[in-house]
Amino acid sequence: MVTSIFLHFRTTLPTLLLLAGLAACTKPERPLPAGPGLTPEHAAAKVEHVPKVSEEQRTSALTAEQKQLVVARIGDKVITLGDMEARLDAEPPVVKSQFTSAQKRKDYLAKLVQFEVLAAEAQRQGLDKDPEVLEAMRQAMVRKFLMDTGKDEIELKAVSEPDIAAYYQANPGVFHRPEQVELSHILVADKETAEKLRKEIDKASEGNSAKLVQTWNEYVGRYSQDKTTIQLLGALGRVSLEPLPGASPDEVARLQAIGRPIVEAALKTETFSLAPVVQSPEGWHVLLVTSKLPAVNKTLDQARESIRARIVKRERDLRREQLVAELKARNPVEINDAALKLLPPPKPPAGKGAAPAEAATPTTAPAGPAAGKVAP
């Protein structure tokens, strides 16, 4: 709340509560698959040449004189008609639709006045110098800077049809893939031992995913005879009956080493459940399914809009990286890796059904035949 009060000059302000999470607004973006669709000319284009949102969306219905009309005074602070229009225009469409009547717009002004009163008092108490407030202001400033440089305003329609088609052809594994499952295993010599371990693990879990994972991790270290995967808590990685389009020879060999019977049993098993024991040339396997991905088979027409969004995001990210590189050249950066290694990992939030940090089952295995081999 302290952070919220000071940031009125960069916030649209439907309510004060909407500002409370501003300090934690950044989130790492998930990387997208590589592919064509961005020419060298596009990548080398200057920032000011990036297509921007149409200026028609920013035109005002007020004259310059009308914008200067004062609609409210709060001490030395004034709110003009232009301020009101700008704030309302920045609201999402669903919010703006609630202020079509004169009375509703008057109510909106009352909220602005309420905010200014609170902001003035917070500033009087020195909260404008609070470290949390200053950090939130810096984050808002960075977002505004990136918007002003055009990084986050690339139009979707700027992506051409040839670019979309090229991306679709270059990333078959994104738009066409069989059903996949992540699983781990414990390898033993005989069926009797496998059935015994499966029964014990299932009983100890008591139907709880966290207990299942914790028990599984203990049993892998004690009983599994697969020395290749034992350090990965038995993880075999993501598998499917058929290789993904464009899979490397190493990936194909990995799936072949795991074997079709194991994959078939895993595909029939619910997430965070134990599959029936399975035999392979190496022995008997107790299987734990940790996640599933449904099959995907999209035509170009079905994937067009998602591809358009991916290419726009990629171009925006590339231009942002270009800008950061230019700024780093002006502001040399030094990283102390030795000191960074001393930072402990953050503790995960404790929640109902959440697995303990030390009991987290690996859900991916390193690429290559060794990761998929199920026997020492």
98 pLDDT tier (thresholds 50, 70, 90): confident
37 pLDDT tier (thresholds 50, 70, 90): very low
Report pLDDT for 45: 42
Structure tokens at 323: 């800008």
Dihedral, CA of residue 315, residue 28, residue 138 and residue 13, to nearest 10: 90
Query: Is the pLDDT assigned to residue 245 strictly greater than 60?
Result: yes
Do 113 and 262 lie in one domain? The reply is no
CATH number at residue 227: 3.10.50.40
376 pLDDT tier (thresholds 50, 70, 90): very low
282 falls within a domain: yes
57 falls within a domain: no
CA distance 174 to 125: 54
pLDDT in tens, 120-162: 899 999 999 999 999 999 999 988 888 777 655 667 777 889 9
Do 257 and 199 lie in one domain? The reply is yes
Domain of residue 226, residue span: 178-296+356-372
Backbone angles phi, psi at 209, to 5 degrees: -60, -40
Query: Is the pLDDT assigned to residue 89 strictly greater than 80?
Result: yes
Query: Is the pLDDT assigned to residue 10 strictly greater than 70?
Result: no
Do 187 and 271 lie in one domain? The reply is yes
44 falls within a domain: no
Task: Say how many domains are in the chain.
Answer: 2
pLDDT in tens, 289-310: 999 999 999 999 999 999 999 9
Share of the chain above pLDDT 90, in %: 43
* Rg over CA atoms, the chain: 28
β-bridge mates for residue 73, sequence order: 78
Do 127 and 208 lie in one domain? The reply is no
248 falls within a domain: yes
Query: Is the pLDDT assigned to residue 370 strictly greater than 70?
Result: no
Query: Is the pLDDT assigned to residue 199 strictly greater than 60?
Result: yes
CA distances from 83 to 12, 51, 61, 69, 218 (A): 11, 27, 13, 10, 62
326 falls within a domain: no
Structure tokens at 282: 């190496």
pLDDT in tens, 210-237: 999 999 999 999 999 999 999 899 999 9
Across the range 26-31, mean pLDDT stands at 38
Domain end point (choices 77, 101, 133): 133
Do 80 and 221 lie in one domain? The reply is no
pLDDT averaged over every residue in the chain: 78
CA distances from 173 to 33, 164, 229, 231, 363 (A): 9, 15, 26, 29, 19
Dihedral sign computed on CA atoms, order 182, 184, 190, 193: negative
- Strands 176-177 vs 296-297: parallel, antiparallel or unpaired: antiparallel
Structure tokens at 85: 């229009």
Q: pTM of the predicted model, to two decimals? A: 0.50
CA distance 239 to 266: 9
Do 208 and 279 lie in one domain? The reply is yes
111 falls within a domain: yes
Q: Which residues of 72-97 are buried (b: 16+ CB within 10 A; e: fewer)?
A: eeeeeeebbbbbbeebeeebeeeeee
DSSP 290-323: EEEE--EE--HHHHHHHHHHHHHHHHHHHHHHHH
| Residue with more model confidence, 204 or 30 | 204
CA distances from 175 to 31, 169, 181, 295 (A): 16, 9, 17, 9
Do 112 and 257 lie in one domain? The reply is no
329 falls within a domain: no
Do 232 and 360 lie in one domain? The reply is yes
